Each structure stands twice: as C-alpha cells, then as structure tokens.
Amino acid sequence: MSSTHPSPAPASDPDSGSVIGPSLSHRNPGPASPAAASGNGNGRGHGQGHGHGNGNGHGNGNGHANGTPGATPGQPSLVVHDLEHWFGSGANRRQVLDRVNLTIHPGEVVLLTGPSGCGKTTFLTLVGALRQVMAGSVQLFGQELAGAGRRERQLLRRQIGMIFQGHNLLRCLSAEQNVQMGADLLPGLGYRARRDLSRQWLRAVGLGDHLGKLPHDLSGGQKQRVAIARALAAQPRLLLADEPTAALDSRTGREVVELLRRLARDQGCSVLMVTHDPRILDVADRLVEMEDGRLAEVSLSGRPSSGSVG
C-alpha cells in the first residue's frame, strides 16, 4: 500500500524558523492511508500512475473519491480556451479577461505576472471553480467547468489547493486546527492521522513551534505560512497561489517556493502562482504575463516551454 502522506520532517531547531520540508520524493507507509494501491475510487492516491475513480483505478494511480474522475495518461491538469469574463452590464460592462488561453500539465510550475488590476486574481478564481464561467472553456482534470453545476464545481475544488493573499484563516482556530481543515478533505483519515499530517506541514513551513497559536498571535508572514500549509495538507492535484511570498522575508519566501517546486516534481501537482517577486522566477517551468485581460508567454532564456498559451 502506498501512502499519500509526506514522511515526517527531519529533526530541526524549532526556533530557527527555517523551512524544513517533509520528504516528497517517496511515499512511506503512514497511518490510515486514504487510498489503496488498487485506486478503488474511495480515496485519493497520488502515485506515479494515472488511475481513475469509481473502482477503475490501477496501480499507484490517482483514484479520486466522490465520483470525480482521475487524470488519464498525458492529460493536462488545466486547459483554458478563449476564456472571457466581465463585470457589470450594458454601459457599465467592463471586460476583465479577453480570450485567455492556457494549458498546464501535471508537475509544471507556471508563474503568472502582470500589473495590479489586470485580471490575475479573477483568472485564479475562475480556474479554481470559485466563479461560473461566462464564456469560453475551462477544463480541470478533463472535466468542463463551463455549464458545471454547484455540486460538480464543489467536487473539483476538493482537488485544488488555494493560497489567498488574505490568508482566510479562522480566527477561533489554532494554526494546527486551521491546517487540519485542509487534511479533512482527504477521505479515510481518522482524527489522529489528520492532526499528525497538519503538524508535519506546519513543521515544513517552519512553524513547528507555533501549533497552538491563534491567528491574532501570529505575524503576517506566519499567517501566510499557515495558509500555505493548509493548502498543501489537502494534497492537491492543482495548486493556485496568489502572491504566496508577498508577506514573507526573502529567505522564507525562497524556501516556500522551493517546497512548492518539490511538491510539483515529486507528486505531479500542477502549480499556477501569481507573483510580482523577481527573486523566484527561476523556479518556473514557464512564465506567462497578463495585461489588459490578455495572456502572453514570456520566454525563459535557454529553457523550452512545455505548455501552451495564446
């Protein structure tokens, strides 16, 4: 049986604040593994194969619970075609996205840049199934979002990790409890396994000594790291991050994006990250820029692009 949990973080000085990531290169057996090797559709395995839910998973595949299909071999995680979005109507209508095209494959890290107000956050909410698609097509893991109902979008969101600029932590819950909300999305895990998983990810972002603190006792950067740990604890197939390093110092910000890079490589997670931070551009497989609602690819010197944008 293969577990989807990261193995425990190596011992470190909890007061150092350094990000010590759990090993993501292999999956050691862990408590209450949410998916068996057969990928029977009752759990979410994240192995190297590409199994399917509803009893059709194979090997170490990505069988998914709740009737949501897993990816087929070679299938992109995200395909956006001629996406448009606007606010208002009539004379007050304002076009925010204009014929946006983007394809992201499993394991890719794509950075999205652009001036404030150009539509980046709106784009994230659309591909994250938080808004209804007005025009164009958005396919997540092979499933069309245009015309999808609330229940379909809800099931898809369970496979997406989201890191918001505003943290969105529950003030009445400790750091550990906030992160455990992400682990609660993994089926088949008991309370103790979810708690242990949340502690592992908090250690991974350098907050192993802040487990019991409430959000009002944390700095802005610490709150951001709790939000990052919460998103990672859900073991997403697609991670959407809106300025994840904005509230972090240069060292911690670098360590966090390296952690996301490892997540992409070792678990096949696709990462779409909005950023204005030039210090982290080298972690990207591709760089795309949005301006006036249009998306264009920016070349990375000497590095070929594996996806498509138009």
The average pLDDT across 116-120 equals 89
In which band, very low, low, confident or very high, does the pLDDT at 55 lie, cut at 50, 70 and 90?
Answer: very low
pLDDT at 271: 94
Counts for the chain of helices (H) and strands (E), in that order? 6, 11
Q: For residue 65, which of 46, 83, 81, 89 has the smallest C-alpha distance?
A: 46
Q: What integer pLDDT is reported at residue 71 of this predicted model?
A: 47
CA distance 77 to 81: 13
Backbone angles phi, psi at 271, to 5 degrees: -125, 125
**What is 107-119+148-287+294-303's CATH topology?**
Rossmann fold (3.40.50)
Task: Round to whole Å and give the CA distance between 178 and 201.
Answer: 12
In the predicted structure, residue 294 carries a pLDDT above the cut 80? yes
How do the domains of the chain map onto residue ranges?
34-72, 107-119+148-287+294-303
Mean pLDDT calculated for residue range 136-144: 94
**206-222: per-residue pLDDT in tens?**
899 999 999 999 998 89
pLDDT at 22: 53
Give residue 73's pLDDT.
54
Instruction: Tell the residue number behind the tokens 């309370």, with chain if given.
Output: 191
Evaluate if pTM is beyond 0.85: no
- Give residue-wise pLDDT tens across range 268-280: 999 999 998 888 8
